[in-house]
Amino acid sequence: MTERTDVVVIGGGQAGLAAGYHLRRQGLDFVVLDAQAVPGGAWQHTWNSLRLFSPAAFSSLPGRLMPTQPGEEYPDAGHVVAYLSDYEKRYDLPVLRPVRVLGVHDDGRLLRVETDSGTWHARAVISATGTWWRPFLPAVPGRGDFEGRQLHTVSYRKPQDFTGGRVIVVGGCNSGAQIAADLAHDTELTWVTRRPPRFLADDIDGRALFDAATARRRALDEGRTDTGGVASLGDIVAVPPVREARDAGRLKASPMFVRLHRDGVVWADGTRAFADVVIWCTGFRPALSHLSPLGLRGPRGRIPTRGTRSVQEPRLHLLGYGDWTGPASATLIGVGRPARDAAREIAGLLAAGG
């Protein structure tokens, strides 16, 4: 099967849907190709107790406010999945599932998008594939020697899977803190962070993170001093379960160990901890392998961009991967503006005959 359209959006998570909303407003013909069988992107795979770090009203995509979740100030992931499902229905977005994009190729005037269900030819492509699908594990000596179980954030679901076990959680950001808090009751927990954990003040949440990212981008764009952005505020939003565990003294962090052994880990001063499980909450990288045929890779596995547009390939936009593709673009509330800018730029390019 071969199809033709103005724009192919790759990925039907929140970033792909925000792109669809704005492409529709620009009156462009487009399709969203998503590898998942059902709506919700990465949110359908997170751990059960995950809470958003902003209230619902501050976690909305363009055009439609996220409703509050009864009884919860910070909604859970299931609530986000329901919101995204409703969003794509409400705007009647043309999302095709499950369709996995295997590669994007330059065919001269058009970009050729090869998938496991056929080929699309497009005048422009928006890549919005997220990071969840490329978990990052640091190279720590002895990682291959450990005989217990190792998993990344992406495979963690619930504390009952580890009850009574000796668990080491590695990571000092939101995932690490939330998973450590989740496990603090029922396991023998060691929480390990590279530097002492930096909790945001209890009355600060994702709204402040969004403001900080936006202020930083504005300062950099205007040639002013770097404000430090989100990192200047702290690393961990004290959502209620994290706050509770911290205040109860169950969330004490140890420094990073220097290596793993067959049965546990060892610190620089020779102290050892035995462990059954190590959970690596050590972040993600952008899932961009489908773009490798275009040969655009820059430093740190990224593709150099101006705004969302690839510097080398003006028909390609990257959306939702982090501040380098728009301030706070990897958040629900932050992806709307770069999605709008990408759709506008593409409309301009196509109108000019690109």
Ligand X SMILES: Cc1cc2nc3c(=O)[nH]c(=O)nc-3n(C[C@H](O)[C@H](O)[C@H](O)COP(=O)(O)OP(=O)(O)OC[C@H]3O[C@@H](n4cnc5c(N)ncnc54)[C@H](O)[C@@H]3O)c2cc1C
Positions touching ligand X (CB under 6 A) are 10-16, 33-36, 41-43, 46, 52-54, 59, 100-101, 128-130, 132-133, 174-175, 206, 287, 290, 320, 330-332
Choose between 265 and 291: whose C-beta lies nearer to ligand X: 291
Question: CA dihedral in degrees (201, 205, 211, 212; nearest 10)?
Answer: 50
Residue whose CB is less far from ligand X, 146 or 321: 321
Secondary structure (DSSP) of 91-144: TT--EETT--EEEEEEETTEEEEEETTEEEEEEEEEE---STTSB-----TTTT
Q: What residues contact 96, with CB distance under 8 A and at least 6 apart? A: 31, 32, 33, 34, 117
Least Å from the CB of residue 133 to ligand X: 5
The smaller minimum CB distance to ligand X, of residues 26 and 59, is found at 59
Q: Between residues 71 and 144, which has the closer beta carbon with respect to ligand X?
A: 71
User: Which is nearer to ligand X, 132 or 199 (by Cβ)?
Assistant: 132
DSSP state of 230: G
Q: How far is the CB of 197 from ligand X (least distance, A)?
A: 16
Least gap, CB of 240 to ligand X (angstroms): 13
Edge to edge, the sheet with strand 259-261 lists 259-261, 264-266, 272-274
Closest CB to ligand X: residue number: 13
Q: Give, in order, the Cα–Cα distances in Å from 66 to each of 37, 69, 127.
A: 23, 9, 24
